[in-house]
Structure 1
Amino acid sequence: MAIYKDKLKELLDQAVIDIPTVPKLNGKAVMSSMLGVKEPDKQTLINPGLSKTKGSGCFSRFKPIAEVTAEELSKRRTCGVCGQKAGHNSRTCGMALAETPPSKKQKQQDQPKRAGLRQSTRKK
């Protein structure tokens, strides 16, 4: 048995010499050798910039009248009734409110309603 053991050991040593052994590679090294690209030593990735969420607001300020230029003042909307640019429109204009008669809704609100009964719209 000792002679057989020595003969096998010699054959094993001869096989190690004849057959080159491939060093074990990790997964990254195998992929880089398959793709033919070397993995960089230093990674240069940076975090992306933060995005604004919906409704995060407007960051421009309202200018006081002293800072507003004449050109900006001329672009402002005017009242459709009196033509002034003084912070009101045709709905809230004092001249329009004084001249117009009350609307149908206001007339209906002024009339007392009968409780529990509907008014008929049929002609008699």
Structure 2
Amino acid sequence: MLGELFTPVETPEAPNRGFFKGLFGGGAQSLDREELFGESSSGKASRSLAQHIPGPGGIEGVKGAASGVVGELARARLALDERGQKLGDLEERTAAMLSSADAFSKHAHEMMLKYKDKKWYQF
């Protein structure tokens, strides 16, 4: 029993020119403008690409949106001013608490020095 080393096969067809081969391989090709662009090459817009969708009110809608934005900015500015006032009040209260704590610490130290040498039964 004698086998063959190779199986005879017909040579395949040459592969089609790929995208990257066409892009980077050079070689000028004739391109059909009508095939690429359709009606747009004749000056008419293609109906399948874009459609005009009318907006709400045109200029009036833009003015309404702008007035809404102005109102929101005014509200934000008022909230910012109110926050600044609250932070100022908080700073004043913090300073008052700090001075009160310092006074308490001073009085506690004086009291400790006064009763430092006395025994518990001498009070």
Normalising by the residue count of structure 2, what TM-score does the alignment of the two structures yield?
Answer: 0.27
Normalising by the residue count of structure 1, what TM-score does the alignment of the two structures yield?
Answer: 0.27
Which one has the bigger helix percentage?
Answer: 2
